[in-house]
Amino acid sequence: MIVEKSTRSNQRYKSSLQYLSMNGSTVMQSENLPFRIIQKHYAPMSESYRILVIHSVLVANKALAIATAYQQRHPEVALDLRFLEEAALLHDIGIFRCHAPEIHCFGAEPYIKHGIIGRAILEEEGLPRHALVCERHTGAGLTKEDVRAQQLPLPMRDYLPLSFEEKIICLADRFYVKEPAALYRPLSLERIGEKMAQYGAEALARWKELRSMLAE
């Protein structure tokens, strides 16, 4: 039974990598700094690793596509594409310490804390800029007032994307969910807007500001 389960997991893992390769993934697992960091905290053949890798690569590819198109329209804006890719790949590294069994994460912390957990991990790795992306990518960003009003288990401060790179990663992340059945399927702009509206007018307004970075 254990062997059969392991075999199925390996097959899903290999199929996932094949899909990413066939669909223009710009990253290579073993040769990339973010994956070396991820592999310190996730077993490479585990389902949580597979989910994290697929989601992160899709978000990184989307972020790079958004950034490239944005630079073509605004050549005066200098974007750090290497940082953008690395930070996008690492933005969800903290999920393994959270309780989210639907995505095979069995930690003890509430899921909303995955951003600050990720920040702590990446600061220990000597990546303070990447760490801030972890903390600032949730939703369309969170304000101190959001934390207070929703009684979120977070330190009382703003969690808003500030740099162009932070905003692009936050934007790209909204297109993909981590639920296994929907990993590869991008959400429509309309559906993202509907989800953001559930968190109130200010969250929706922040989303619309991020969305304005897209060429439509």
pLDDT tens digit string along 52-72? 999 999 999 999 999 999 999
Does residue 199 form part of some domain?
Answer: yes
Highest mean pLDDT among 20-29, 166-175, 206-215: 166-175
Distance CA 105, CA 160 (A): 25
Does residue 19 form part of some domain?
Answer: yes
Does residue 77 form part of some domain?
Answer: yes
Taking only the tens place, the pLDDT of each residue in 139-157 is 999 999 999 999 999 999 9
Instruction: Give the residue numbers spanning the domain of 30.
Output: 2-211
Does residue 78 form part of some domain?
Answer: yes
pTM: 0.87
Does residue 36 form part of some domain?
Answer: yes
Does residue 169 form part of some domain?
Answer: yes
pLDDT interval class at 1 (50, 70, 90): very low
Does residue 216 form part of some domain?
Answer: no
CATH code of residue 177: 1.10.3210
Taking only the tens place, the pLDDT of each residue in 73-128 is 999 999 999 999 999 999 999 999 999 999 999 999 999 999 999 999 999 999 99
Distance CA 23, CA 21 (A): 5
The set of long-range contacts for 112-115, using a CB threshold of 8 Å and a minimum separation of 24, is 112/138, 112/152, 112/153, 112/154, 113/153, 113/154, 115/159
pLDDT at 161: 97
pLDDT interval class at 4 (50, 70, 90): very low
Count how many domains the chain has: 1
Does residue 205 form part of some domain?
Answer: yes
